[in-house]
Amino acid sequence: MEKKWKQILEQWKDNLSRKNQLLLIFLVGILLLVVAFPISKKDSKAEKTIQETSSVRNVQTNLENYEEYLEKRLTNVLESVDGVGRTEIVITLKSSGQKIVEKDQSINNQSDSNTNEAGITNSSETKSSDGTSIYERQSDGTEIPYVSQELTPEIAGVLVVADGGDNAVVVKNITDAIRALFGVEAHKIKIMKRTDT
């Protein structure tokens, strides 16, 4: 069997010219490179999509955790107020909050004045500003914008279901407390009477 392979290779080698042999070796080399180093654009796109999806999930989870945190704190506070009784609270958020990125600001002021033949002075003033983001280098070498301030999510509305939800004084106290704590407008707060079912 081994002799047969040697004969086939010898015949093939004799039939190919030197130019064709070099071309064949070159093509085999390229084939080996392609096999050894696969193109990973598809993988990087898939990884990017997975990272974006997990990032969206993280934001959603953080928002839900923040809502639950606010609901529990408000429940604990309101249940200790006279006349409120047991409460259930639902808080909805308008946005996911905001991160304010630090920027280098450069402001240019330019003013020109000229007097014409009639003695009238014309003046013009030009102001321009330019801002570039400041980046922070992470330990892995990536750069992310430097966040100087992070604003909490804005509250869209609050629903309170309380045992004392039918008492006007209790309703006013709950509304005032929510407005003071969260800065929510009164028309975005709904207080209802709790029923035992």
For residue range 114-126, what is the model confidence (pLDDT) as tens digits?
Answer: 777 777 878 778 8
C-alpha torsion angle, residues 137, 138, 142, 144 (rounded to 10): -70
For residue range 132-146, what is the model confidence (pLDDT) as tens digits?
Answer: 777 778 888 888 777
41-97+152-193 is a CATH 3.30.300.30 domain: yes
* Structure-token pair, residue 53: 């999806």
User: Residue 85 carries which DSSP code?
Assistant: -
Burial (CB count within 10 angstroms: exposed 0-12, middle 13-18, buried 19+), residue 91: buried
According to the model, what pLDDT value does residue 35 have? 74
pLDDT at 192 over 90: yes
Per-domain residue ranges of the chain? 2-36, 41-97+152-193, 102-136
- Diameter of the chain measured on Cα atoms: 110
N-to-C CA span, the chain: 88
Report the amino acid identity of residue 191. Answer: I
94 or 15, higher pLDDT: 94
* Strand extents, DSSP E, the chain: 87-93, 98-101, 103-115, 121-133, 135-137, 143-145, 147-151, 155-162, 189-193
Full DSSP string of 30-80: HHHHHHHS---HHHHHHHHHHHHHHHHHHHHHHHHHHHHHHHHHHHHHHHT
According to the model, what pLDDT value does residue 185 have? 94
For residue range 12-45, what is the model confidence (pLDDT) as tens digits?
Answer: 666 666 667 667 777 777 877 777 776 655 555 5
Burial (CB count within 10 angstroms: exposed 0-12, middle 13-18, buried 19+), residue 162: buried
